[in-house]
Amino acid sequence: MESRDPRPLLNVVDVEATCWDTAPPPGQTNEIIEIGLTVVDLAAGERIGRHRILVRPARSRVGAFCTELTGLTQAEVDTGLDFAAACRLLARDHAAGVRPWASWGDYDRKQFTRQCEATGTRYPFGRDHTNAKAVFTEAHGLRRRPGMAQALAHAGLPLEGRHHRGEDDAWNIAALILDLSRRSAWPSAG
């Protein structure tokens, strides 16, 4: 288990889940298939870790629409961990239960909650979650909450990697958080 680090580290999480362009096929439900995690050292103002966890779905399949959106295939996610093992890995290797974390909006937090409840899996994260989209919207005085790619453009930051890929999106969200931190607009851990 990772020891408590005195530096103000933050886990930035972005998930991709099975998805369809219409309603899910009968008997299928949205499930996490990729967890992207970027570790941010807020004091140093840098991204210090970049991680990708593939998750094998148990109650759904990756179809053509999902592959087009995320680039992930069924064959690729079949090599991943089961959901419970992925949650244990987050807790063990990434201090998810004790380290504050952030995501772009509340989808990721709610998807973890739903999937943990549906599978009887222990929720891997602590209670210290920040909705980075809400913080960005307020800090920039926007009327509507932008998507991540729109926020990057608004902040004058590049989109690195592939949008709708968990590892790349977490990396980009971390860049937005660091920009907010440099502007003294990111909430301090307390």
1 domain-assigned = no
4 domain-assigned = no
126 domain-assigned = yes
187 domain-assigned = no
Distances, alpha carbon 131 to alpha carbons 14, 42, 110, 115, 139, in Å: 12, 16, 12, 19, 13
Domain that holds residue 36: 9-182
pTM above 0.85, yes or no: yes
70 domain-assigned = yes
pLDDT for 80-135, tens place per residue?
999 999 999 999 999 999 999 999 999 999 999 999 999 999 999 999 999 999 99
3 domain-assigned = no
The overall average pLDDT reported for the chain is 95
CA 23 to chain centre: 23
On the question of pLDDT at 1 being above 50, the answer is no
139 domain-assigned = yes
**CA-CA distance, 140 to 155, in Å (whole number)?**
9
115 domain-assigned = yes
CATH number of residue 99's parent domain: 3.30.420.10
Domains of the chain: total: 1
